[in-house]
Amino acid sequence: MRLFSLRVLVTSLALSLVLSLTLKSGAVSAAAPDMYDDDVLVDCKPTLEVKDITYYPGPDDIGRTNNLRRKTGIAVVAKGEPIYVVGRVVDKDCVPISDARVEMWQANTFGKYSHPADKSDNLKDDNFIGSGFTKTDNLGQFTFLTIFPGSKDDKSAPRVHFRVQHPEFKEVYTEMYFPEQEKNYKDEALSKDKSRLDALSAKVKFESREGQYRVERIDGDMVYHFVITMDGKNRFRRY
């Protein structure tokens, strides 16, 4: 029993090290930790609600695109690390919800929100939209092209905010955090409720290439996955 426990501990530490090193360097890992692959959903509890609308632009002023990296018609892109936020909206039976409106807003790479309520001295980026929305497809999927968000200050974890609406479900406000970020553990709200980080952390997937595994990327950009579960059942679709 003691030997089995030791093996479990060593395996867990190895997987954590693989994820940390790969996120930082993109290095090839020897094995793919399938704990980060959420393609098959088996336990869909309603997503934890976090309603922070301090910098919410409002439904009329939110960006009209899912590409937050640049303004429509302008070739210049925002500063920072480009990333993809890819997700799914499902009901509590893990059934996809199509045609849900997914709104997302966040700070730019310097930790500044595109909102007049943000009075911080963090730098602005006029090329960053700061918010946008899209609709889910018939598999409940959505995609945003954006920039890795900066933190407002040293005690705030980087995050993106979501508002999800569908006529058959109660709207959802929530946040998504990023794995392996030092500021996750300095964030005042997360340190008070450690389960919040576990419940709302993005997932990172791994791709197999020639027998080796790398963190999934699109056009070289990191991809973060997030599932949002709305409370209720999809009346028009069953598996």
* Strand partners for 144: 85
DSSP class per residue in 130-160: -EEEEE--TTSEEEEEEEPPPPSSTT---EE
Average pLDDT for the chain: 86
What confidence category does residue 105 fall into, taking pLDDT thresholds of 50, 70 and 90? very high
Q: Are 81 and 147 in contact (CB under 8 A)?
A: yes
Residues 85-101, mean pLDDT to the nearest whole number: 97
If we measure between CA atoms, which residue out of 54, 57, 142 comes closest to residue 98?
142
Asked if pLDDT for residue 162 goes beyond 90, the answer is yes
Q: What is the pLDDT of residue 235?
A: 84
Residue 12 domain-assigned? no
Assigned domain for 14 exists: no
**Side chain identity at residue 138, one-letter code:** N
Per-residue model confidence as pLDDT tens digits over 118-161: 999 999 999 999 999 999 999 999 999 999 999 999 999 999 99
How does residue 239 score in pLDDT terms, banded at 50, 70 and 90? Answer: low
Range of the domain at 202: 33-229
For 192, the token pair is: 């008070």
For residue 111, CA distances in Å to 41, 83, 104, 185 come to 33, 16, 16, 17
Closest among 19, 65, 14, 18 to 224, alpha carbons compared:
19
Query: In this structure, what token pair is assigned to residue 62?
Result: 């939110």
Per-residue model confidence as pLDDT tens digits over 21-41: 445 444 433 343 433 445 678
- pLDDT exceeds cutoff 80 at 227: yes
Tokens representing 48 are 């934890």
Cβ distance 207 to 213 under 8 Å?
yes
Long-range CB pairs of 166-169 (<8 Å, 24+ gap) are 166/89, 166/97, 166/99, 166/100, 166/101, 166/230, 168/97, 168/232, 168/234, 168/235, 168/236, 169/91, 169/97, 169/100, 169/230, 169/231, 169/232
Domain assignment present for 5? no
Model pTM above 0.85: no
User: 212 falls in which pLDDT band (50, 70, 90)?
Assistant: confident
Tell me, what's the pLDDT at 39?
A: 64
- Give the model's confidence band at 209: pLDDT under 50 very low, under 70 low, under 90 confident, else very high: confident
At 89, the pLDDT band (50, 70, 90 cuts) reads very high
pLDDT value of residue 214: 84
% pLDDT > 90, the chain: 72
Residue 154 sits in a domain whose CATH number is 2.60.130.10
Question: Which of the two residues, 29 and 235, has the higher pLDDT score?
Answer: 235
28-32 long-range contacts, CB within 8 A, separation 24+: 28/212, 28/213, 28/214, 29/206, 29/212, 29/213, 29/214, 30/212, 30/213, 31/213, 32/206, 32/208, 32/213
Please count the structural domains in the chain.
1
In a domain, 193, yes or no: yes
Q: How confident is the model at residue 46 (pLDDT cuts 50, 70, 90)?
A: very high
